[in-house]
């Protein structure tokens, strides 16, 4: 099986490469635009082939994917670069995996379901940690608590490692503000403006955290595939100072899906608000994260918290598992989907939760909250 990782020298791309280079019967190709960074990847990962691929050049992208069985797209923002790669993968007959969280990307790619089904390939979106592992957690808890109608998902991370400022992540967030965000409320998808705040209780070492509501694509998946009637998703990224309401409003009104000098200035402004760890406690959280999943039903509620030592490793874990399942012929579904549509969620979660560096807090209650 030949697997191409697009954006292989970025933070997520390097993590995916590390996760898949040891898979049996898998030939890995690292791809990206910058030759010097590809050369560094070839030196770091002996035996990995490299290929110069610019996803903005559609004809070249299509040609590159003709000889690929699976493409893992690690190039963000997916609102800007996701759909053309999906289209090229479908035309090449290649399976597609990405780490996207953007709702607009999910909406756009969902329109390609008929083409993907006709081509006999899976287009798997949101296969990182959040979304991805979070969706497996939600599906698993719903299976245990079938009366569940209310749910919340959240991700908190410590500060990024030195030099990992996450410009694509920042750009993605700013671009998303130009599009519709939805949560589930009273069984309907309701448009909201990101930025509402709420405090969540995590386990040590994160404790209580003020989180920002930021709707991600698993809200749209749950609306179609579960009986959940209320679902919101929340995030807090370590080292990122709270984004002022005026900045969120400005980004939403300026239409940042059209790159210009204003959008470039806003991106630089947000990046400057990222702070390095200042205390010993903050330094101890570098690279760490925690996933929070909570559901409530008429007769029970359940909460699961996964504290993760290395968020980068967790982000790449699910793509590696999906590639192994594809290699072994264990993923039969085709069309546009998420990991929770495809796999035995409990089998994968047992494997993930048993890995070194994953610490599990699992709380069930037979009585619904007052």
The domains of the chain are located at 2-128+313-344, 133-311+349-365
**Mean model confidence pLDDT for the chain:** 88
Give the mean model confidence (pLDDT) for residues 357-363. Answer: 91
CA–CA dist 224, 221 (Å, integer): 5
* β-strands 230-236, 148-157 pairing: parallel
Q: Which residues contact 18 (CB under 8 A, 6 or more apart)?
A: 45, 313, 316
Beta bridge partners of 289: 157, 308
Maximum C-alpha span of the chain:
59
CA–CA dist 124, 172 (Å, integer): 19
CA–CA dist 91, 316 (Å, integer): 25
pLDDT at 256 exceeding the cut of 70? no
Q: Which two tokens stand for residue 71?
A: 């493409």
Fold for domain 2-128+313-344? Rossmann fold (3.40.50)
Which segments of the chain does DSSP mark as H helices, in order?
Answer: 11-20, 35-44, 58-65, 78-92, 103-110, 113-119, 133-144, 167-176, 218-225, 245-254, 261-272, 280-284, 311-327, 339-342, 345-353
**Cβ(283)–Cβ(277) below 8 Å:** yes
Give the mean model confidence (pLDDT) for residues 8-24. Answer: 95
Query: What is the helix (H) or strand (E) element at residue 3, kind and residue range?
Result: strand 2-6
**Which percentage of the chain shows pLDDT scores above 90?**
71
Q: Which residues contact 77 (CB under 8 A, 6 or more apart)?
A: 102, 168, 171, 172, 175, 176
**Cβ(119)–Cβ(311) below 8 Å:** no
Q: Which two tokens stand for residue 97?
A: 């995996």
Summarize pLDDT for 278-323 with one digit per residue, the tens.
Answer: 677 778 889 999 999 999 998 889 999 999 999 999 999 999 999 9
CA–CA dist 365, 191 (Å, integer): 32
CA–CA dist 145, 10 (Å, integer): 39
Phi, psi of 186 (to 5 degrees): 55, 35
pLDDT at 370 exceeding the cut of 60? no
**Cβ(291)–Cβ(305) below 8 Å:** yes
What 3-state class would DSSP assign to 321? helix
**Which percentage of the chain shows pLDDT scores above 70?**
84
CA–CA dist 18, 22 (Å, integer): 8
Give the mean model confidence (pLDDT) for residues 332-357. Answer: 92
Q: Does domain 133-311+349-365 have CATH number 3.90.1150.10?
A: no
Which residue from 304, 81, 60 is spatially nearest to 175, judged by alpha carbons? 81
pTM of the prediction? 0.91
* β-strands 122-124, 95-98 pairing: parallel
Sheet of 95-98: strands edge to edge?
Answer: 49-52, 27-32, 2-6, 70-73, 95-98, 122-124, 335-337
**Cβ(361)–Cβ(292) below 8 Å:** no
Summarize pLDDT for 197-248 with one digit per residue, the tens.
Answer: 999 999 999 999 999 999 999 999 999 999 999 999 999 987 555 566 666 6
What 3-state class would DSSP assign to 307? strand
């Amino acid at each position: 099986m030949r697997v191409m990782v697009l954006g292989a020298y970025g933070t997520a791309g390097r993590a995916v490469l590390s996760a898949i280079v040891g898979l049996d019967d898998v030939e890995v190709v690292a791809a990206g635009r910058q030759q010097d960074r590809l050369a560094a990847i070839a030196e770091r990962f002996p035996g990995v082939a490299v290929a110069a691929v610019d996803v903005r050049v559609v004809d070249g992208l299509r040609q590159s994917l003709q000889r690929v069985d699976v493409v893992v797209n690690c190039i963000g923002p997916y609102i800007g670069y996701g759909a053309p790669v999906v289209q090229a993968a479908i035309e090449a007959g290649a399976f597609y995996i990405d780490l996207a969280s953007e709702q607009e990307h999910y909406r756009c790619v969902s329109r390609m379901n008929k083409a993907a089904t006709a081509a006999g390939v899976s287009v798997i979106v949101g296969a990182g940690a959040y979304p991805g592992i979070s969706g497996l957690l939600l599906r698993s808890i719903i299976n245990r608590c079938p009366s569940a109608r209310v749910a919340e998902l959240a991700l908190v991370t410590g500060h990024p490692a030195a030099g990992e400022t996450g410009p694509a992540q920042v750009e993605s967030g700013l671009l998303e503000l130009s599009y519709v965000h939805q949560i589930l409320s009273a069984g309907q998808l309701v448009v909201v403006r990101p930025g509402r705040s709420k405090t969540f209780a995590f386990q040590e070492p994160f404790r209580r955290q003020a989180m920002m509501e930021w709707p991600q694509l698993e809200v749209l998946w749950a609306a179609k595939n579960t009986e959940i009637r209320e679902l919101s998703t929340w995030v807090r990224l370590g080292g990122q100072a709270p984004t002022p309401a005026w900045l969120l409003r400005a980004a939403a009104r300026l239409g940042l899906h059209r790159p210009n000098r204003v959008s470039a200035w806003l991106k630089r402004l947000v990046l400057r608000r990222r702070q390095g760890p200042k205390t010993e406690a903050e330094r101890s959280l570098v690279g760490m994260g925690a996933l929070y999943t909570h559901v409530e039903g008429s007769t029970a509620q359940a909460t699961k918290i996964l504290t993760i030592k290395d968020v980068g490793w967790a982000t790449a874990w699910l793509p590696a598992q999906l590639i192994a399942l594809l290699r072994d012929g264990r993923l039969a579904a085709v069309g546009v989907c998420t990991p929770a549509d495809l796999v035995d969620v409990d089998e994968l979660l047992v494997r993930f939760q048993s890995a070194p560096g994953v610490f599990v807090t699992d709380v069930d209650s037979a009585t619904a909250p007052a």
